[in-house]
Structure 1
Amino acid sequence: MAQYNTNVPSFYRVEERDIVMPAESRLQVDLFDFQDTLGEAINGEKLIGSTVIDLEDRWHSAAWKDCMDRRQQVPTENRGLINPQLSGQNCGSIEMWVEMIDSVRASDIKASELRKPPAMEIEIRLVIRTCKNVKLWDGSKTDVKVTVDLECKEYEGVTMGFPKLQPTDVHLGSTGNAIFNWRIVYPRIVMPTKSCTMDLKLYQANFVSADEFIGAVSVDLRRYVERVARDMDMIYIEKADLQFTAGAAGEGEEGGDGADAAEEETVGSVQFEMWFMTQSEANQKRNGKGREDPNDFPQLVTPAEGRGWGDVLGGFSLSLPDLGLMKKVIPLILFTLLCLVLLRFVGLL
């Protein structure tokens, strides 16, 4: 039974043997580095370490029998591994237990159940509050949009309706600052994880053509999720800021003209809050994406700025010709036409 590319293998395997003591009272457990047939033929078996247990010593131990018989508890042992060829070096340890039952009672007593514990799952919640000093796209305003993309192979929240790529809504007509109050949710990150990175990208939103990239920033979250998995305590990051840079464009996006100066250009910042918690705790405080229900922890309110019809129409640059004196006459003409329509409607014309 081999496990690959790990130094913390989990076997959860039970072996049963009939023995006669004291002739068969020595139990040796060896841990080997797995090699294929050719490698084993060339190099031989590569021993990592061994541990030896004196079964007769266990059988005659009053403390061990007290745990097994009276308390009905199996004493777990954490045993160090020793390699004679690596004297004085730490070769790891193995967690195990040994049960011994008299052959007369063996048919009546089943072996203790050895079950792998459920996988630890972590949920990440990000609330994007505001963006500041956003680069003006056409010289006077920007329709600001932010996308968040989670890079984590152990993420399994897609099946729950939480995709890896989650965009905010659009703040229309921003003159540099934008308000979102938008929640990003990533449930079911299965631990342990080899990598957990969050990419935030800033865009000029377009309703007809594709959004235009402005800048990006990446955050490594692995140490936070590992800490929560280890300590089982929630981590809260309160109103922190990240800087968007123009040179951090993703593949297929243009982040400037390629010059070194452009790579360092700051094109805005984002203020956010972030929570890391175990999935069991998150299930007691459920939240939806964006501002969807359930909308608690915290409750998010749709901003008034950048969402009105005036902001929508402001995106269309319409200019009327200079009508001169007609500007004063047009209202009178329209009023007269309205009166004629009303008179016609009541039958006076």
Structure 2
Amino acid sequence: MSKLGNLGARLYRGEVGYDFVGKRKIWYAVSILITITAIVGLAVRGLNMGIEFEGGAVFNTPKTSVSVAKAEESAEKASGHDAIVQKLGDDAMRIQIAGVDIDKSDQIKAALAKDLDVKAADINADLVGPSWGEQIANKAWQGLAIFMVLVVIYLAIAFEWRMALAALIALIHDITITVGVYALVGFEVTPGTVIGLLTILGYSLYDTVVVFDSLKEQSKDLTKQTRFTYSEVANRSINGTLVRSINTTVVALLPVAGLLFIGGGVLGAGMLNDISLSLFVGLAAGAYSSIFIATPLVADFKEREPQLKALKKRVLAKRAAAAAKGESAEGPQSADSENSDDSDGYDGYGDEGPQDSASGDAAPAAVVGPRTQPASRGRGRGRPSGKRR
């Protein structure tokens, strides 16, 4: 654990890091491949919509010794439609039949009572009309659309429209993957699924906003210096919040995994699958999109601006000139040069170029951003001699 804490501190200070933004084309390709797979699964298999959306009947039976397979066969024979049977904890059963004519409910109830060897009066029947199910579906889509609009407005006000657009693309990416997994797995889509989707979208935004806030802070007055491009600053923001994102995602996934695999799989509480699968897939997809999609997209959008495009040219030209002279990309550092024009008055990233903490040599390409120095090392700055006292 101490090693993980050490790594987190070094990532935050910029001593080590991974070039997420520089390798963004790889992440884009992976995301496109996953999204296409999800869309194909959705088109081929479709969604297994619950009766709340399609209409139908749910029959809750008392304790019975009849097997699930036998109950399913009996329900399909009596109704003429596919049936979903779930075993409950006290050997009771929940029999769900979609698309059933409400007028046939009494007939189906009587047939089930005979085949399951229970009294018809003890079977509880809940009926959902198709028009009501359609209203529920429309309300779900309206709620999702309103959520998206509010998110874009908030991010555009709090940050800027480019970040809002990147966050929206990441959210659509998360929804598509989650819905595609539901189609491929065949789990039933219920109002619980919609609640799970809205929950994971909020969680995904939380992670994204944390990175955006760090990026906004670190990119202030960026064009006044010639040491770092916007993409490098964006990459530093991702690395600085990486361990936090991983920790919060793992902590959130553990209880959801318990609901999905133990509650739904081992204990057979199938109703937990409705919400737990959307939470599990959505949380993982949200953490992925926050790191690999949203911030790299912002970097792509921002570096199309004339000012930041010109900044990138200046930074690369300066590094090429330094390399031609046999110097490091940041140039030699000394007490006299720390206040020279090379820093351009921009000290948001420390006073040294990208270095390895052990050797002081130039860091590898994956390390972006310099090492932040302890406060004691800057005490002599601003004095004519540059000496510390």
TM-score (norm 1): 0.25
Greater per-residue strand proportion: 1
Q: TM-score, normalised by structure 2?
A: 0.23
The structure in which a higher percent of residues are helix is 2
RCO comparison, higher one (Cα < 8 Å, 6+)? 2
